[in-house]
Amino acid sequence: MIPRTIFLRLIEGGCLPPSPLSGLTPEDFWTEKTGRAVIFTVAIDGPAAAGKGTISRAVAARFGFAHLDTGLLYRAVGAKGGDPIAAARGLMAEELARGDLRTLEAGQAASRVAVIPEVRAALVAFQRRFARAEGGAVLDGRDIGTVICPEAEVELYVTASAEVRAHRRWLELGGEAAHILAEVVERDARDMGRVDAPLRPAADAVILDTSGMTVAEAVAQAIALVAARMAGE
């Protein structure tokens, strides 16, 4: 049995003993009682480079929740090559720690394997368990509020104009600005246009457009929303 905090550290460090994610149960990693048997899910969806990751990490840190960047699952499957369905079914925790998953190419490869229903299906159970495990969880992705955890206590849809998002990616990764904008637009079209679990706001999601916001402002709004929901508002 792996205590929850250690499990998360192992995922980040890429040193979890070989075991397919699909085979892990909550008992494998939620054994450390925090004294707060809270089940509280924050679902954060939105297009690439809208600020989901930054907001998710800040919310998780503020409330002591576990955080899962679900894009990493698809990136790891896309980066593995070969049969993506087999890669998704046998995905190992240590594969999420590959150093080359943040590139534009890895994002495109992830978006391409993410249209395959069998790939998505293979990753659902792990994400659902993570979302509803004791201790609270923040998951960011494309279908968290619509498919993975429609019962999430907070559903946030973080977005920004394609130009603003491409500029942010350019600041982060460098390269040719026009090429990055084209990548963003292409990925949006594929993620929003696919048949299975397309990117769209959940019916009762709060929309946060970060186009004209600083990181601090966007984080503050997200934290205020979560705090209000935790207080039962």
Residues that bind ligand DC (CB under 6 A): 48, 70-71, 74-75, 107, 110-111, 114, 141-143, 187, 191
Residues 6 or more apart whose Cβ sits within 8 Å of residue 50: 158, 159, 160, 165, 210
Q: How far is the CB of 106 from ligand DC (least distance, A)?
A: 8
Q: How many CB atoms lie within 10 A of CB 87?
A: 20
CB of 33 or CB of 179, closer to ligand DC = 179
Residue 65 or 130: which CB sits closer to ligand DC? 130
As measured in angstroms, the least distance from the Cβ of 3 to ligand DC is 26
List, in sequence order, every residue forming a beta bridge with 42; answer none if it has no partner. 138, 154
- CA proximity to 138, closest of 24, 16, 54: 54
Q: Which is nearer to ligand DC, 116 or 133 (CB)?
A: 116
Nearest Cα neighbor of 69 from 154, 12, 6, 136 is 12
Residue 205 falls in which region: left (phi positive, over 0), alpha (psi -120 to 50) or beta: beta
The residue number whose beta carbon is nearest to ligand DC equals 71
Whose Cβ is closer to ligand DC: residue 2's or residue 123's? 123
Q: How far is the CB of 142 from ligand DC (least distance, A)?
A: 4
The minimum distance between CB 21 and ligand DC, in angstroms, equals 14
